[in-house]
């Protein structure tokens, strides 16, 4: 599919694989034996290297640290029931990565570096792909600026890297969500659609306040009226109201165009659900609850996969969901698992063969 890529591969002398318990993996705690690294300088990408996972030696004047030109992606690799490694929809993450790069005035990464580099890295460390239910190999491509001067400007030099992390579920049980009306995540014209490190840094305070009150995540509202639902920071959000599934649209560029969000929409439509993308006012969610029409709420994300919401707190309202009665979210989860494990035909070419 992509041109042969010349990669300088240096293999580790001693694998760390035996140090982990592949059946008990917190999200993002462990890294595999190798990582991919390539620098951008003099206006072009240099030679791609795969080398043993190791620390980077960087200047404290690194521009990414000071001014935040830093973006990333999250992708997952699985093995089917025969043990063949696959990556789920990586081309969609590649496209989104370069949209983030453009928004942050960073160089785009060529397809062969992103796709073939990732394929070669996953192939090398494929023994680290867990085969347990809800487990996977999390792939973290990222890019940051590497200039060492303090002037505020788009940098001239960058580093693109890929790390691999064998991982278990991000959330282990249904979520309690706090509707955030004081702090906001993104406004029209901003960079909410970009997977930029700053979007996550800016979310920490509100999330920590919500966690101190026993919630797992916040649900972000729009920056003007604080009434229109955006996303949850680690996930896009869906509501089942009556016989429809609703999710915020991507029109104003404030939410992330989630690959799992898109997969969920496609799967739900295929399974006969009516899915509508559009503005969702929080008061309409409350009204649907009071009318007995609000059936489910769930989040979608690469890391979080499909995560059920069991409680939503909005001002004085506490909305409780009947997790056991949910149908839409378990349907998406089952269909996606069946596609990944080869029990259901991959009609859309979502599974990229390693």
Q: For residues 225 and 235, give the distance between their C-alpha atoms in angstroms, rounded to a whole number.
A: 22
**Residues in 234-263 at the binding interface with ligand COI, rule: CB under 6 A:** 234
Q: For residues 296 and 302, give the distance between their C-alpha atoms in angstroms, rounded to a whole number.
A: 20
CB nearer ligand COI, residue 198 or residue 342? 198
Q: How far is the CB of 335 from ligand COI (least distance, A)?
A: 19
166 sits near ligand COI (criterion: CB under 6 A) = no
Q: Cβ distance 319 to 327 under 8 Å?
A: no
CB nearer ligand COI, residue 130 or residue 301? 301
Q: Which of 199, 302, 307, 331 binds ligand COI (CB under 6 A)?
A: 302
90 sits near ligand COI (criterion: CB under 6 A) = no
CB nearer ligand COI, residue 63 or residue 302? 302
Q: How far is the CB of 121 from ligand COI (least distance, A)?
A: 17
**22 alpha-carbon distance from chain centroid:** 22
Choose one: 205-213, 282-290, 296-304, 312-320; the region binding ligand COI (CB under 6 A): 296-304
167 sits near ligand COI (criterion: CB under 6 A) = no
Q: How far is the CB of 303 from ligand COI (least distance, A)?
A: 3
What are the DSSP calls for 193-213, one per residue?
A: TS-BHHHHHTTHHHHHHHHHT
179 sits near ligand COI (criterion: CB under 6 A) = no
Q: For residues 105 and 286, give the distance between their C-alpha atoms in angstroms, rounded to a whole number.
A: 40
Partner residues linked to 51 by β-bridges: 35
Q: For residues 162 and 87, give the distance between their C-alpha atoms in angstroms, rounded to a whole number.
A: 14
CB nearer ligand COI, residue 34 or residue 96? 96
Choose one: 186-194, 247-255, 302-310, 346-354; the region binding ligand COI (CB under 6 A): 302-310
Tokens for 196?
A: 């930029």
- H helices of 182-281, in order, are 197-201, 204-212, 259-270
Q: For residues 232 and 318, give the distance between their C-alpha atoms in angstroms, rounded to a whole number.
A: 17
Q: How far is the CB of 259 from ligand COI (least distance, A)?
A: 9
74 sits near ligand COI (criterion: CB under 6 A) = yes
CB nearer ligand COI, residue 62 or residue 304? 304
Q: Cβ distance 275 to 245 under 8 Å?
A: yes
Tokens for 308?
A: 């059920």
Choose one: 53-61, 106-114, 262-270, 299-307; the region binding ligand COI (CB under 6 A): 299-307
Tell me the number of residues near ligand COI by CB under 6 A.
6
Render the burial of 57-82: b for 16+ CB within 10 Å, e for the rest.
eeeeebbbeebbbbbbbbbbbbbbee
64 sits near ligand COI (criterion: CB under 6 A) = no
Q: How far is the CB of 91 from ligand COI (least distance, A)?
A: 16
The contact set with ligand COI (CB under 6 A) reads 74, 234, 301-304
């Amino acid at each position: 599919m992509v041109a042969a890529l010349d990669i300088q591969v240096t293999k580790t002398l001693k694998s760390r694989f035996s140090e982990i318990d592949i059946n008990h993996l917190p999200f993002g705690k462990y890294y595999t034996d190798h990582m991919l690294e390539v620098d951008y300088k003099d206006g072009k990408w240099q030679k791609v290297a795969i080398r043993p996972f190791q620390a980077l030696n960087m200047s404290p004047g690194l521009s990414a640290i000071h001014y935040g030109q830093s973006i990333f992606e999250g992708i997952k690799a699985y093995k089917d029931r025969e043990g063949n490694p696959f990556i789920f929809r990586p081309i969609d993450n590649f496209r989104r990565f370069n949209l983030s790069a453009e928004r942050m005035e960073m160089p785009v990464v060529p397809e062969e570096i992103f796709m073939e580099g990732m394929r070669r890295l996953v192939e090398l460390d494929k023994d680290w792909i867990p085969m347990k239910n809800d487990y996977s190999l999390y792939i973290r491509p990222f890019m940051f600026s590497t200039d060492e001067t303090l002037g505020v400007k788009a940098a001239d030099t960058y580093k693109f890297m890929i790390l691999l992390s064998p991982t278990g579920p991000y959330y282990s049980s249904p979520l309690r969500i706090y509707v955030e009306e004081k702090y906001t995540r993104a406004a029209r014209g901003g960079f909410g659609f970009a997977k930029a490190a700053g979007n996550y840094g800016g979310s920490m305070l509100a999330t920590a306040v919500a966690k101190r009150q026993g919630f797992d995540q916040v649900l972000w509202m729009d920056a003007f009226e604080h009434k229109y639902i955006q996303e949850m920071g680690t996930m896009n959000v869906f509501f089942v109201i009556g016989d429809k599934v609703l999710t915020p649209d991507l029109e104003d560029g404030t939410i992330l165009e989630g690959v799992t969000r898109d997969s969920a929409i496609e799967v739900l439509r295929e399974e006969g659900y009516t899915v509508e993308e559009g503005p969702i006012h929080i008061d309409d969610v409350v009204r649907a609850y009071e009318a007995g029409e609000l059936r489910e709420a769930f989040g979608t994300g690469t890391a979080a996969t499909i995560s059920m919401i069991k409680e939503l707190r909005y001002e004085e309202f506490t909305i409780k969901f009947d997790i056991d009665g949910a149908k839409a979210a378990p349907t998406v989860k089952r269909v996606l698992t069946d596609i990944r494990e080869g029990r259901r035909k991959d009609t859309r070419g979502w599974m990229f063969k390693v």
